Structure 1
Amino acid sequence: MITTINPANGNMLATYGAMTPAELEQVVGQAAAAAAEWGAVPVAARLDVLTRLAAELRGSADDLAAVVTAEMGKPIGEAEGEIEKSAVTAEYYAAKGAEILADEPVAIDGVRAWVSYEPIGLVLAVMPWNFPVWQVLRFAVPTLAAGNGVLLKHSLNVTGSALAIEAVFRAAGFPEHLVRTLVVEEADVPETIERLIADDRIAAVTLTGSNRAGAAVGAAAGRVSKKSVLELGGSDAFVVLADANIEAAAAAAVRARFTNSGQSCVCAKRFIVEAAVADEFIERFVVGVKGLAVGDPTDRSVAVGPLARDDLRAALQRQVDASLAAGAVLVAGGASVDGPGYFFEPTVLTGTAPGMPAFDEETFGPVAAVAVARDADHAAELAGATPYGLGLSIWTGDPDRGVRLARRITSGAAFVNAVVASDPRVPFGGTKRSGYGRELAAAGLREFTNTRTYWVA
């Protein structure tokens, strides 16, 4: 049995029976058959169902958001925003999918030639708990639009969310077995995923999660020469140059770090500030952090809910303690909140630098690491001193200067005078240890297609 726990109070939510090997085999067979049939459906008909999906998501928003908040502790307003963003993404692909998937003529003398984007079949998705709906929908919507099927292995602590998502797809009018959820005992997950990747009925795999899980999935896909997309960890830099609007930058920094209680790969984690404005930025930033309400995520006045699991809270505490021992300075928070639930104080560490866990590692929770740079060149050096490369945010009074600086720092996305975020209109993905491949926009729709050349003499 799989048990889900409410991280706000530690109470049990529900139990689910894990699938037997025979049940897993049946689900995979049904999903593969449904994917083959769906791939033959004309693009326009596939996109019509996406419009109904957007409506179904909005109609189910209250129930879906409640499940998300109960299972992983996301503040209720953010959970509702996750559902709306998923609906907007479905509408985006309903409107743009035909154009993106259209055949592309190629001018070659004496022949007719074109490039076609064709379905590949059933795609396995290994998804994390931190955005239980959005992470799934941002992959599944373009994958289904492309004519493929979805086999979802979600995190066990959001099993209720996973099953609710499957029901939403059916209610929207997608074929019954086209989107299926696998419920697998935790101890059996690695072997099950590796076996599925090797299964001829699985065409490709995508994973959003840890580097360890990504390495296992990427290696398994490589052994059988299958396409994989990995969206892994992040330790995004938030760079504040001396000519920036410090008030605006500090306010944005609070949002950038503490959205989703800091449990996001694309949250800013390292705040690198030029020395000339460091004191002002830190003062404003700390005031904003100390003003964040922590507590019951169903309370709309609460900005920071619990961490999703107690082991995650313990890991965060170890990172904070080790960073302090290495010379960082604690200016806000720093410890678990007493009482039921898995709460951690919004925390700010100053004086951080390479060699400290809060700077070198991904901190998955409400902890911000501030480092002071001598000048812009030093800021670029510190921002790039990471094995990760997901997002980057630069704040400056000269946007063109911000772009020039961004070109010196490797990342999958660079935002100037804005907080890094995903948007269906632009690709999302990482570099270095943050993974490879892209979701969203045209790139995300074409990731799981066969880019096929036609040459007709």
Structure 2
Amino acid sequence: MSKTFNTVNPATGQKISTYAYMSDREANEAVENCHTAHDSWRLKSVEERGAIISRIGEGLRARADQLAALMTREMGKLIKQSRQEIELCASICEWSAQAAPRELAPEERELPEGGRGIITHKPMGVIYGIQPWNYPVYQVVRYSIANLMAGNGVLLKHASSVTGTGKLLEEIYLEAGLPAHLFTVLIIDHDQSNAIIEHNRVRGVTLTGSAVAGRTVGARAAKALKKTVLELGSNDAYIVLEDADIEKAVQICVNGRIYNNGETCIAAKRFVVVDAIYDEFRDAFVKAMSEVSAGDPTGDEAGMGPMARKDLRDDLHEQVKSSVARGAEILCGGKVPEGDGYYYPATVLGNVSPGQPAYDDELFGPVASLIRATDADDAMRIANDSRFGLGGGIITEDREKAIDMATRNFDTGMVFINGFGLAKPNMPFGGVKDSGYGREHGGYGMREFTNTQSVMVMN
């Protein structure tokens, strides 16, 4: 008899649906079928693939209400943010279809001794994606659309808590005309996932998750000589400089911390403020965070929804308590509310310093770490004093100074100046250090899992 699991509404704690895990035989057949589908798909022109990718974007928009409602029910994000996520994903489909002929075009070079060199980007085969729950549509679209556009087949192991969203995406892809089995959702456990990584038909593995998961998956894939792309966690620092507009800075920082209920790898998490304006910023920031209301994510009133699971809320609260035990101070929030659902209040911690989880680790929820710096140089030192390096921000009225700081000194994959940002279809997305490696979006994602082949025609 198959093992089963339930999906649960984090706003109420009530069961949504029950799903059965695949058998090992079913999982193996899914891999083989994906490989067979890819064998035909890889021969289609970039333009033919792009036409179907465009229709996937249209399908996402056509079923946006249904998809947004399911996302919100499964992981608790505000319904308006679910709709924003779907619109971003539709735009990723559009951009990819339009850009692929350019990004995947062959390149010609003259050989040094004479002759003609041709560089092509050929699909590798079946790519296995292990994706988290926090952006149930975007995390899937981000890697799957790029790889389908490149001519690869795609397997998905989604987080079990958002299984319904994964299956609905599979349906939308098929309705758009994608060949059967080319994109397949695998409902499997961790042991089965390890077998998929090692499967001889799988040519590459991509994971979005924690640094711990990244090390485990990366090591297993490397042992099997499989290429990986890892997009891992972070504790992104947002630097607020002396000339910043305080009101605008507070708005950016609050949004950057509570968007998606604070459950975003590239969220603003550490707020490094120079001494000259620290007190003024602190008072305004704490006031604004304390006014954020958590409530029903399906309505229009709440500023945040619940955290996605009870264990995630419990872990976050333990990090807060551990930070306080090591000298941090709760400036607002920090208490688990009573009642149904996995809610946690918008929280600000002051007196944050090395040795505390609030400084050293990723707090994956609506908790902000407020850190005082003496000046801009000290702020950059603190920002870079992290084992992570996904993103970061600089808030200042001197944009040229911010650009210089970002390009010269900020040790992250992405930097946002005077704003909090998520992904942009035409800009590369990814990190350094314990935040992983490889890039998605901006054409880079299309080429990550391609065979860059050299053809040399000699005279």
Q: TM-score, normalised by structure 1?
A: 0.98
Match for residue 180 of structure 1 among 170, 178, 184: 184
- Give 3-state SS (helix, strand or coil) of 1:36's partner: helix
Structure 2 counterpart of 1:408, which letter? Answer: N
Checking the alignment, whether the CA contact within 8 Å between 2:118 and 2:454 is kept in structure 1 is yes
Q: What residue number does 1:211 align with?
A: 211
Q: Deviations over 1:104-159 (max 9, x none)?
A: 11133521112111101110000000000001101111110000011000000111
Q: What residue number does 2:448 align with?
A: 447
Checking the alignment, whether the CA contact within 8 Å between 2:392 and 2:415 is kept in structure 1 is yes
Match for residue 166 of structure 2 among 154, 162, 174: 162
Q: Distance in 2 between matches of 1:329 and 1:10?
A: 31
Structure 2 counterpart of 1:84, which letter? Answer: E
Q: Distance in 1 between matches of 2:376 and 2:353?
A: 16
Structure 1 counterpart of 2:37, which letter? Answer: A
Q: Distance in 2 between matches of 1:193 and 1:417?
A: 41
Matched length: 453
Q: What residue number does 2:116 align with?
A: 112
Structure 1 counterpart of 2:6, which letter? Answer: T
Q: Does 1:329 align with 2:329?
A: yes
Q: Does 1:123 align with 2:127?
A: yes
In the alignment, structure 2 segments of 5+ residues that lack a partner are: none
Q: Deviations over 1:32-86 (max 9, x none)?
A: 1111111111111000111111110000111111111001001100011111100
- Give 3-state SS (helix, strand or coil) of 1:433's partner: helix
Q: Distance in 2 between matches of 1:104 and 1:96?
A: 15
Deviation at residue 247 of structure 1 after TM alignment? 1.3
1:185-200 → structure 2 map (5 Å cutoff) = 185=189, 189=190, 191-200=191-200
Checking the alignment, whether the CA contact within 8 Å between 1:354 and 1:385 is kept in structure 2 is no
Q: What residue number does 2:426 align with?
A: 425
Q: Distance in 1 between matches of 2:261 and 2:241?
A: 26
In the alignment, structure 1 segments of 5+ residues that lack a partner are: none
Deviation at residue 284 of structure 1 after TM alignment? 1.7
Q: Distance in 1 between matches of 2:120 and 2:304?
A: 46
Deviation at residue 392 of structure 1 after TM alignment? 1.1
RMSD (Å) for aligned C-alpha atoms: 1.0
Q: Distance in 1 between matches of 2:381 and 2:212?
A: 27
Structure 2 counterpart of 1:118, which letter? Answer: K
Q: Deviations over 1:366-400 (max 9, x none)?
A: 10000000111111111111100000101112112
- Give 3-state SS (helix, strand or coil) of 2:89's partner: helix
Q: Distance in 1 between matches of 2:105 and 2:288?
A: 48
Structure 1 counterpart of 2:252, which letter? Answer: A
- Give 3-state SS (helix, strand or coil) of 1:413's partner: coil
Q: Distance in 2 between matches of 1:234 and 1:447?
A: 22
Structure 2 counterpart of 1:120, which letter? Answer: M
Match for residue 29 of structure 2 among 21, 26, 45: 26
1:128-139 → structure 2 map (5 Å cutoff) = 128-139=132-143
Match for residue 149 of structure 1 among 123, 146, 153: 153
Structure 2 counterpart of 1:333, which letter? Answer: G
- Give 3-state SS (helix, strand or coil) of 1:273's partner: strand
Deviation at residue 287 of structure 1 after TM alignment? 2.2
Deviation at residue 337 of structure 1 after TM alignment? 1.6
Percent identity over the alignment is 42
Q: Distance in 1 between matches of 2:360 and 2:284?
A: 25
1:37-436 → structure 2 map (5 Å cutoff) = 37-108=40-111, 110-185=114-189, 189=190, 191-406=191-406, 407-436=408-437
Q: Distance in 1 between matches of 2:235 and 2:390?
A: 8
Q: Deviations over 1:224-259 (max 9, x none)?
A: 211100000110000001111121111100111110
Structure 2 counterpart of 1:131, which letter? Answer: Y
Q: Distance in 2 between matches of 1:51 and 1:28?
A: 25
Q: What residue number does 1:13 align with?
A: 16
Structure 1 counterpart of 2:24, which letter? Answer: P
- Give 3-state SS (helix, strand or coil) of 1:388's partner: coil
Q: Distance in 1 between matches of 2:188 and 2:54?
A: 31
Deviation at residue 285 of structure 1 after TM alignment? 1.3
Q: TM-score, normalised by structure 2?
A: 0.97
Checking the alignment, whether the CA contact within 8 Å between 1:391 and 1:420 is kept in structure 2 is no
Q: Distance in 2 between matches of 1:82 and 1:422?
A: 10
Q: Distance in 2 between matches of 1:211 and 1:224?
A: 20
Q: Distance in 2 between matches of 1:443 and 1:50?
A: 17
- Give 3-state SS (helix, strand or coil) of 2:307's partner: coil
Q: Distance in 2 between matches of 1:76 and 1:173?
A: 28
Q: Distance in 2 between matches of 1:88 and 1:293?
A: 30
Q: Distance in 2 between matches of 1:226 and 1:111?
A: 33
Structure 1 counterpart of 2:180, which letter? Answer: E
Deviation at residue 269 of structure 1 after TM alignment? 0.4
Q: Distance in 2 between matches of 1:275 and 1:200?
A: 56
